[in-house]
């Protein structure tokens, strides 16, 4: 077996965290993974992996070797792509994960336009609100709302994700008026269950001071559309990204409240592995999405014009 194939087996094993998963991805038998890893370590004269019956960890030498090998494979792939096509053409597949509501309503149409402009590029979409493992799940790119906590990943800001407190007009008549965040105490509240603390809503007041209101949501969901449906029936008040609220605000089924306050202060990020060389097609897609959304996304402009 060639040295390049040994490198490919090693990198795949590290990223899959499992010999069986690596074997499945490479289309070989489990025993072949073990044999090839043994041959690689014997050739190098160092131990790359520490193995037990249940776990597998990189040694210090293994971590260094993985980072260099990951870049080597990415550079090799890019080199092949560049010599097989014109420098102006993009081709290949991109595996992308994104939040469900944002993906359906906003990102999917933009990425479809990108594919129309670059016919050689295909995209595998994963639309889910679960927090995927970028490396282990094999994604080239993940769009994520919130804050980056994993130091093995690189996050590039795409645009801000503005949040608004919302409810139905009937709800305001029954429980309002809402002039300050404290007015939300004692009323039915919705919470987004994918947040670590769904009842904690941080804000910045009109005078620039920061604070946080702590509520006890009676209704929780991991999907904003479900909370919007409940709010339209006057069942509670919620706070979620404006990209999910634009249509409901435009139709008058929901109205924004406490609009002088900035809520949560989150951004949308394009996230990819630090150790992986970013291909031209992935970089081009990120640039395209950033250009289309801009510093103030179009859905926020529509809401501000209401």
- Please say which residue of 27, 62, 84 terminates a domain: 84
Domain encompassing residue 80: 3-84
Residues 227, 146 share a domain: yes
Angle, helices 60-84 vs 3-16, to 10°: value is: 110
**C-alpha distances in angstroms, 67 versus 63, 130, 275?**
6, 27, 6
Distance CA 18, CA 197 (A): 33
> Is residue 249 predicted with pLDDT exceeding 80?
yes
- Please say which residue of 84, 107, 129 terminates a domain: 84
Residues 77, 176 share a domain: no
191 strand-pairing partners: 220
Residues 135, 53 share a domain: no
pLDDT at 53: 65
pLDDT tens figures, 15-41: 888 888 888 888 888 888 888 888 888
Give the mean model confidence (pLDDT) for residues 30-53.
85
Residues 139, 9 share a domain: no
* Confidence (pTM): 0.70
pLDDT tens figures, 127-167: 988 878 887 788 889 999 987 666 678 889 999 999 999 99
């Amino acid at each position: 077996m060639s040295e390049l194939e040994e490198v490919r087996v090693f990198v795949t094993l590290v990223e899959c965290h499992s010999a069986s998963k690596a074997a499945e991805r490479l289309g070989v038998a489990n025993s072949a993974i073990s044999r090839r890893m043994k041959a690689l370590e014997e050739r190098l004269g160092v131990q790359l992996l520490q193995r037990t019956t249940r776990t597998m960890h990189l040694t210090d030498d293994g971590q260094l070797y993985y980072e260099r090998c990951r870049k080597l494979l990415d550079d090799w792939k890019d080199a092949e792509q560049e010599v097989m096509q014109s420098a102006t053409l993009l081709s290949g597949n991109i595996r992308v994960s994104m939040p469900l509501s944002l993906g359906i309503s906003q990102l999917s149409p933009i990425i479809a336009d990108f594919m129309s402009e670059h016919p050689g590029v295909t995209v595998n979409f994963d639309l889910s609100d679960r927090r995927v493992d970028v490396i282990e799940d094999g994604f080239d790119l993940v769009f994520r709302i919130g804050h980056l906590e994993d130091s093995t990943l690189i996050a590039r800001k795409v645009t801000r994700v503005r949040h608004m407190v919302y409810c139905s007009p009937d709800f305001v008549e029954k429980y309002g008026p809402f002039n300050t965040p404290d007015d939300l105490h004692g009323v039915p509240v919705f919470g987004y269950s994918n947040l670590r603390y769904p009842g904690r809503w941080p804000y910045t007041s009109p005078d620039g001071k920061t604070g946080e209101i702590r509520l006890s949501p009676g209704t929780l969901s991991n999907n904003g559309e479900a909370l919007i449906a409940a709010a339209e029936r006057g069942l509670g008040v919620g706070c979620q990204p404006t990209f999910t609220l634009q249509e409901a605000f435009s139709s008058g089924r929901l109205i924004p409240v406490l609009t002088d306050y900035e809520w949560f202060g989150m951004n949308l990020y394009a996230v990819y592995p630090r150790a992986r060389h970013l291909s031209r097609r992935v970089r081009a897609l990120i640039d395209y999405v950033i250009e289309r959304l801009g510093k103030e996304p179009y859905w926020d402009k529509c809401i501000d014009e209401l």
